[in-house]
């Protein structure tokens, strides 16, 4: 009986992970990979500073600089960053994407 209960509990915890959008799952993994790579983390942090400095309406030069940092982080990062644009931030996928990005941003020195 305990084995059956354990199997049911395990299947309930695994099911939500399988329901997530594959693009979001890939984005979360990419953000974790950037956090684990010192060079990419430095580039990401520099990009975030440039975004903060540019504000809501960056100049063409500031946007080109930000795009350059994004490209340096690679196509997987570009796809991961873009994945968040089409997700409702209040959905489980949106929360997972935001949490992963917050974790990555939290690794940047202030």
Tokens 């209960």 sit on residue = 5
Would you mind telling me the total number of residues written for the chain in this entry? Answer: 110
pLDDT for 100 beyond 80: yes
Both tokens assigned to 65: 């600089």
47-98 pLDDT tens trace: 999 999 999 999 999 999 999 999 999 999 999 999 999 899 999 999 999 9
pLDDT for 17 beyond 80: no
Q: Which of 83, 1, 80 is nearest to 34 (CA)?
A: 80
Q: Are 107 and 35 in contact (CB under 8 A)?
A: yes
Question: Is 74 or 10 the better-scoring residue by pLDDT?
Answer: 74
Question: Is 41 or 10 the better-scoring residue by pLDDT?
Answer: 41
- Rounded-to-integer distance, Cα 47 and Cα 24, Å: 21
Both tokens assigned to 29: 């993994």
Return the domain boundaries, the chain: 21-105
């Amino acid at each position: 009986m305990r084995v059956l209960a354990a199997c049911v509990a395990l299947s309930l915890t695994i099911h939500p992970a399988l329901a997530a959008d594959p693009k979001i799952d890939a984005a979360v993994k990419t953000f974790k990979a950037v956090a684990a790579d010192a060079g990419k983390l430095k580039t990401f942090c520099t990009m975030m500073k440039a975004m903060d400095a540019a504000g809501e309406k960056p100049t063409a030069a500031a946007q080109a600089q930000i795009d350059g940092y994004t490209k340096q982080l690679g196509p997987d990062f570009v796809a991961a960053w873009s994945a968040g644009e089409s997700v409702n931030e209040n959905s489980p996928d949106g929360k997972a994407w935001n949490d992963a990005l917050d974790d990555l941003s939290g690794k940047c020195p202030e």
